[in-house]
Amino acid sequence: MRHPQGLNVAITLDRDLPEPLQEQLAAQLRAAIQHGWLAAGARLPSTRTLAAVLGTSRGVALTAYQKLLAEGYVSGRHGSGTYVSHPTGRPPVREPERSTETAIDLRAGLPSTQGFPLAEWRAAWRRAGERAPHLGEPPAAGLPALRAAIGAHLRDTHGLVPDGHDVIVTAGAADALALAVRARGGPDPVIALEDPAPPWLRAELARLGTVLPLPADGSGARPDLIPRSCDVVVVLPDRGVPYGTRLPLGRRRALAAWARDSGGLVLEPAFDGRFASGPALGDPWSTAMTGSFRDLLPPALRLSFAVLPRRPAGEVERDLSAVRSRRERPAVTCQLALTELLVSGFVARRAEQLSLLYGAKRALVRQALGAYPGTRLLGTHSGASAALLLPSAVPAESVVRLLRARRVHVAELAAFHHPGRAPRNGIAFWFGHLDGVTLRRAVHTIARTLDDHRLARRTAA
């Protein structure tokens, strides 16, 4: 940290940051002017003096001064030097860099608390608490009323009638996945997972068997590329993550044909696609799905479900005992509360409310990030996440690193791909949990970071 001669502010340049030195210098001088630490009319050191004190080339100082001159923060006087402009001679004040700002984490999908109907939530728990205590062990597959309510919810929201399937209640997503894989996979199943896919999903499946990549394109998973000898194929038909792809009917039929011919199982984890509609389950003997309400309700509820091919009760209880060997059973009070929330229409109303809120947030993301040449913004037609593909000249690693320095955390697309597969160059981020002010700050920071990588926005003619 140095105070250049004639400059009463500290300047710190870090060569380890992806941001060029001239951009770092310009940003710090701009912030000093905005805060009033450099008063209007103050003379700045010459570019030669500034470069010598900071240990950089003169070109670094000259480029920074030229940037501030173009923005109106400084003015040049021939034969006299460079001076801080008066307020009337420069543009509106921009938000300075502030490392003390609260970090914004866009790497994990969290439910929104915006407009949460707290009174209805409390009423459901109160009614659940007023029920007579359950005597003995609750049913292994979940309370019958809750299983029926989940089936009705799937019918009303997805148009899905699970004939030939059983709804099984579990204590979390990991249990639901394990139960579904055991339904067909055997002791060491080979699992083909749509690629790309959420990292947590790949990690959970890797604990259950051998995971192989199933390549996907702009229309989702490709059934023609299913690896040989697979027991289970895991696809994201309603909304592929991170690109927001939707599997067309022809590929759904091709998956069903694979399952019929091979005797394998097609497994569909349902998350962040709750507003989509259309057929999901096909042949009851070859299809299954898992899901939860974590996108709608607080994650602390810790209830998930699996919709599995119907089997004798003894087999279901045996598999449940296996997957729960190290986990607790779903709490009866939680099951009663979720039943109340489903039957009363709370969950359906909350889904509609979030659909409207997320639509406005997606529009804001498109407006802020959808006009950069050489980039593609994907996934903003539904859900609450997006992917931004970047040109090869702008490495995603550099963008993520600079955003992290600015207290905004996003994920590289590389994290969503199977190890060893060439990832696309870009970033992924979730935004549904952010309020409007925080979301604006986040997308503004992402846009400014793209600007710093010399990606100029397209403007209307």
CATH number at residue 28: 1.10.10.10
Band of pLDDT at residue 397, cut at 50, 70 and 90: very high
Residues 28-74 have pLDDT tens digits of: 888 778 767 787 888 888 888 888 888 888 888 888 888 888 777 88
- Residue 457 belongs to some domain of the structure: no
Residues 268-277 have pLDDT tens digits of: 987 643 434 4
Domain count, the chain: 3
Contact 159, 279 (CB under 8 A): yes
Residue 205 identity: L
Alpha helix positions (H), 183-329: 199-206, 249-262, 313-323
Same domain, 384 and 400: yes
What is the domain-level CATH number for residue 149?
A: 3.40.640.10
Q: Give Cβ neighbours of residue 300 (< 8 Å, ≥ 6 apart).
A: none
Same domain, 288 and 179: yes
* The pLDDT value given to residue 302: 80
Same domain, 160 and 271: yes
Same domain, 363 and 298: no
- Residue 168 belongs to some domain of the structure: yes
What is the domain-level CATH number for residue 412?
A: 3.90.1150.10
Residue 439 identity: L
Q: Tell me the two tokens of residue 204.
A: 């959970």
What is the separation, in whole angstroms, between the first and last Cα of the chain?
Answer: 45
Q: Would you call 75 helix, strand, or coil by DSSP?
A: strand
- Residue 11 belongs to some domain of the structure: no
Average pLDDT, the chain: 83
Q: Tell me the two tokens of residue 413.
A: 């697309």
Same domain, 293 and 172: yes
Same domain, 81 and 138: no
Residues 156-212 have pLDDT tens digits of: 877 776 677 889 999 888 889 988 888 776 678 999 999 999 999 999 999 999 999
Same domain, 326 and 355: no
* Domain limits for position 415: 104-113+349-452
**Residue found under tokens 């989702």:** 220
Same domain, 327 and 358: no
Same domain, 36 and 68: yes
Sheet hosting strand 265-270, strand order edge to edge: 165-170, 304-309, 287-292, 265-270, 232-234, 190-195, 210-217, 220-221
Q: Give Cβ neighbours of residue 315 (< 8 Å, ≥ 6 apart).
A: none
Pairing mode, if any, of strands 385-389 and 426-430?
antiparallel
* The pLDDT value given to residue 90: 41
Give the C-alpha separation, 281 to 287, whole Å.
6
Residues 443-460 have pLDDT tens digits of: 999 999 998 887 766 554
Same domain, 252 and 171: yes
The predicted model scores a pTM of 0.73
